[in-house]
Every structure is written in C-alpha cells, then in structure tokens.
Amino acid sequence: MRLPARLIRFLAVLFLLLPLGAVATAAPAPAAAGTYRQVTGFGSNPGNLQMFEYVPAGLPSGAPLVVALHGCTQSADAYHAHSGWAELADRWGFAVVYPQTTTANNIQRCFQWFEPADYGRGRGEAASIVQMVSDAEGRLGSDGARVFVTGLSAGGGMTANLLAAYPDVFAGGSIGAGLPAACASSLLQATSCQMNDQGLTPEQWGDRARGLHPGYAGPWPRVAIWQGTADYTVRPVNADELRDQWTDVHGVPRTPSSTHDLPGGTTRSVYGGAVEVYSIAGMGHGLPVDPGSGAEQCGTAGAYFLDTICSSHHTAVFWGLDGDTEPPGTLPAPGGLHVTGTSDAGVSLAWDTVDGAASYVVRRDGANAGTSASGSFTDTGLAPGTSYAYTVAAVDAEGRPGPASAPVTATTTGAQPRCFTATNYAHVAAGRARTSGGYVYANGSNENMGLYNVFVTRTLKETSPGYFVIAGSGC
C-alpha cells in the first residue's frame, strides 16, 4: 500500500525529531548523599509535565537552582544519571529540577520547542516549568536571582525559548545541540530549523527572542552554547544562529573577544562575557560528558552522553556556581553606562551613581577590570582595534556587588588589518563569515566565499572590527 504524501512528510519530520534514537535504559543514578525524587502538586501544570528534583544533603536556604531538560526519548532519570549535574550539585551546593514530558504530549517524549502554545510566556510546557521553579523556591528557599536552565536537543530548544520568554526568571542558560528561540512555529518548520540555515540576520534573530517577552528591557540571561561539529541531527549552523541571536540580544559583537582551547577537541569562544560558544571537533549529536574524578570531570557516558568534555562543569563555572554561594548585594544596577572616550590602549566609561553604593566593580568581557569609588572608570592596557563589552555593578557597604548594568561595547582605536586563512567551515565557526543556501559569505563585505564545507580554503582580511573581505596580495 502506498502511503499518502502528507503522511510521508509527517513521518520524515518525526524521524528528524528523534535525535536520540531508541530509548536507552538509564544507568543507576550516581551515588550521592542527597535525595532524588518525584514532586507532585507543583502547580496547575498547563503543559502536563512531571517534576523530579535532586536536593543535596544539608542544602542551605538561599542556594542556586538548576533546571535540566532531557532530550527526545530520554527521561529525568537518564539525565540525572548521566549529565553530571547531580555530582556538581553535591560539590558546589545547589538543587536540580528535572522536568519530564511524556508520550501524552509528544510520542517521542520531546519537549515541544516548536509549538508556540507550549513555549510562549505563560503557556503550556514553558509555564509548567516556571511553576516548578516557583515551587522549588518556596519549598527549598532557592535564591530567585540564581536560577539557571539547561537542556539537550529538544530540551536545548526549549531552554532557548525559556531564556527569551522568562529572562526575569532565569539568570543564565546552556543550550546543548539546540535551536534558536522561536525558530519554529509548527512541526513542519522544526525540520528546516534542525537542518538548514534560516537566512535571518542577527537583528532578526534577536527580534524573535525579544518578541517572546515584548517590552522587557533587561538584564538578559548569560548563555552558553554547546555544539558538535559532526552533528547531523541538529546541524552546527544552529550554534551560529544561536550566537547571532544572543549576541544581538546582549548588544555585544559577533566577533569573539577571546578564544580558548579546552579538552576533548573543544574550542571556547567568548563574546563580551555574556555569550560563550563551545564547539567540539568531530562530536556528533549528544551532551558532552567526561567521566572521572578530576577537578573538571563529571557525568557518565551512555547513549547520546558523549565522552569528550564535561559540559555541565564548564557551564556551572560560566554561571558562577563553582563554590561561590554568597548572596548578591541588594543595590540596583547602575543606569546610563556609556563610553566617554577611547584610545589605542584604553576605554573611558561613565554611569549614573547609585545611592548607598560604597564603590563600583567594572567588568570587561565578564571578568573584573577594576573598581571605582565614583561614577567613572578608565580601563588601560588594552589591545588596539579591539572590541570589549563592559558592565558595572554597585557594591554595598558589606562588599557585595548587586546586579550588573546593561552592557555597552567599546572599540579601541588603532586597528591594524588582520588576516585569517582557514576553511570556509572554520571561518563560519569562528564568526568571520555566515552561511546561506549552502554558500559562505564574509561578514561585513558579504562577499561570496564559495561552498560551505571543509574543502574550500579562503584568506579573509579584517579591515575593521567585524568587517572581513576576501584577501588578495595584501595579506
């Protein structure tokens, strides 16, 4: 019997939504002193989800809270057993909530990141997850200013949506092999999001995120993006689109302010201290873990928990969960942060002072650049022709900094052209170019560099920060 065309298309889309293959039996949960259990009665639960939680022994009130979302065909048990979050919760003192969906919602137990009725603010599954956060805060006394969300694949897509729809709930997020916020509004569109470049500009991607909470002015959550270069289920272009989306939301350059080599063939690219992209060379579809007892190791390997690097550890450090549980200060974020001057090696800043502030801490690309006793600061010793993202926070009389201001970007003068020779794929991964329709275009000049693959090599010249041209004899 020949199947109808519409059914064939539906099954094809459904297949692509099964990145995690057959259901794998979860390994036993890691030995821990805390309690892992299901929680019922956490709210009206409009998204028909289940709630599980892990609470370390002796967890004090005021501890952070992490929400961890499984991938398709997975479960809360599997994510608890393999992802490493329970180990880190014991090590650094925070609780973990594991939302779980069922076949009643989606036949393959995927969080429905592609359905606006489930990812919009106040709707469906997203609303159920936020109810779980409220319930945990009430019972455990979790710090509402330090709530974070992470997820894999469909859970990663839902994570991006939650960060956009509830930036007032989540201080940070980590998206593993996921999709940009509001990429799809139907099951059929989900396939295109997984497999193809959507051809949107960074501003358009940013608008999609901002559109999930219209009128919200910040601050926005910090975002970590994890992606394997050999992922053929959720293609690496999604990491590029996520980078474009969240750098635009934060107002920081798409050119990395720094890059770092990490274990497992991982490259970490930092964008203004607000966004980080972790690209794992040769890794397929799954969550990176690194079993062992080392300081940076966690998790256990299994189906779609891939032994490369412990993403949960590096994410927790990015969020500031590595042992620093001191409550933040209560002073508001300073307003009016702006650049008053630049030189080849320096940036001068000013902002509105805050009543009661003993001092101010200035952060450059997420790291402390210095302190000031007034509403101004000059940062020195910088590289010429380089963009930096700055925030400032007011410090109270007890030495506790409050929330950071909205970021501003400053570019030092004296830029010298830089040349980069790499494959077209590597240029895109490094943020020097973008893809569209299978071709690669240089950022800034939009010059066509040829096919998007690892076989075409080009030399690009950066003539000004973020502006690249195909180089001739000048490099």
Report the catalytic residues.
Answer: 153
Cα angle, residue 129 at apex, residues 227 and 226 outer, rounded to 5°: 10
d(CA 416, CA 117): 50
Alpha helices in 211-307 (DSSP H): 237-250
Which of 428, 423, 416 lies closest to 465, judged by CA? 416
d(CA 258, CA 271): 7
SS3 401: strand
Task: Name the amino acid, one letter, at 215.
Answer: G
DSSP code, position 165: H
- 29, with CB counted inside 10 A (0-12, 13-18, 19+), is middle
d(CA 37, CA 319): 25
Task: Name the amino acid, one letter, at 161.
Answer: N
Give the strand order in the sheet containing 347-350.
Answer: 338-342, 347-350, 376-379
Give the strand order in the sheet containing 467-470.
Answer: 418-423, 457-464, 467-470
Residue for token pair 């930092």: 270
**For residue 195, is it left (φ>0), alpha (ψ between -120 and 50) or beta?**
alpha
d(CA 274, CA 163): 13
Angle of helix 187-195 relative to helix 5-16, nearest 10 degrees? 50
